[in-house]
Amino acid sequence: MTFSLLPAIDLTDGHLGVYSASGPKRLDVFDGDPLAAARAYLAAGARWLHVVDMDLAFNGRATNVDLVRAIVEQSGEAPVQASGGVRTWEEVGAFLEAGAARVVVSSAALADEGAVAEILSRARPGEVLIGIEVRHGRVRSRGAQRVDLDLMATLGWLQAAGAPGFLVTAVDRVGTQGGPDTGLVRRVSRFGLPTLAAGGIRSLADLAAVRDAGATGAVVGRSALDGSLDLATALAWACA
């Protein structure tokens, strides 16, 4: 079965950015140009792009929607998955209107079961995934709107509510290239829903490890940007 590999493009104030404990920071790689990063990933063979509006996540302002639209327009047949602090149907709709094929609902939304239920009821099949950010075994969002929830109980009610799948992020591994949390991936994938893994992935061995733990795909960030992961080789492996 094909394994989905999505290189990530994090956005802040119209530039490439990176997550830090104090919030979004600009990056100079690709001269800070998200469109250049997208072109490079597509040239390497990316079949999906994962685009994060960090300003929405950390500042509550969706200032990069037009940039998401520009990335969609140049990505051709490769669909775009948009994310970054998405908590309402209106925010989901804004990214869908910009051309995103799929939107990741933020962990910050999970404190409001009613809001999540509304999103799930209004989204068409394939339009949303649920983001599960985990630190020290609990669901803990990274943006301005913080939550602290029991992981297994949260996964249970999401499954019952009809969640179509998950993007599970090991928060303490993000940006470290320290390897994925395969135990976390295994716990989430046991719920039987499609599961993308993120955080710490740096090599083909790491990709194989999360696949063997039950993930149906992975999002790679820092290792794709700095070239420590040979993206073209990894994408070819994922499609084999």
Strands (E), 54-116: 80-83, 102-105
Per-residue pLDDT of the chain (240 residues; tens, 9 = 90+): 579 999 999 999 999 998 877 778 899 999 999 999 999 999 999 999 999 999 999 888 888 999 999 999 999 999 999 999 999 999 999 999 999 999 999 999 999 999 999 999 999 999 999 999 999 999 999 877 889 999 999 999 999 999 999 999 999 988 777 899 999 999 999 999 999 999 999 999 999 999 999 999 999 998 998 889 999 999 999 987
pLDDT for 49 equals 98
- Alpha-carbon distance 145 to 122, whole Å? 23
CA-angle at 129, arms to 59 and 225, nearest 5°: 65
What CATH homologous superfamily does 4-239 map to?
Aldolase class I (3.20.20.70)
Domain range list for the chain: 4-239
pLDDT for 177 equals 75
pLDDT for 146 equals 87
Q: What is the per-residue pLDDT across 176-233, written as a single tens digit (0 to 9) for each?
A: 778 999 999 999 999 999 999 999 999 999 999 999 999 999 999 989 988 899 999 9
pLDDT for 231 equals 96
Rg (CA), the chain: 16
Q: Residue 230: is it exposed, middle or buried by C-beta count within 10 angstroms (0-12/13-18/19+)?
A: middle
pLDDT for 145 equals 80
pLDDT for 61 equals 85
Angle between helices 113-122 and 89-97 (to 10 degrees): 40
Task: Give the up-direction half-sphere exposure of residue 189: CA atoms within 13 A in the CB hemisphere.
Answer: 20
Task: Give the up-direction half-sphere exposure of residue 119: CA atoms within 13 A in the CB hemisphere.
Answer: 30
pLDDT for 1 equals 56
Q: The tokens 């149907």 sit on which residue?
A: 89
Beta carbons of 224 and 41 less than 8 angstroms apart: yes
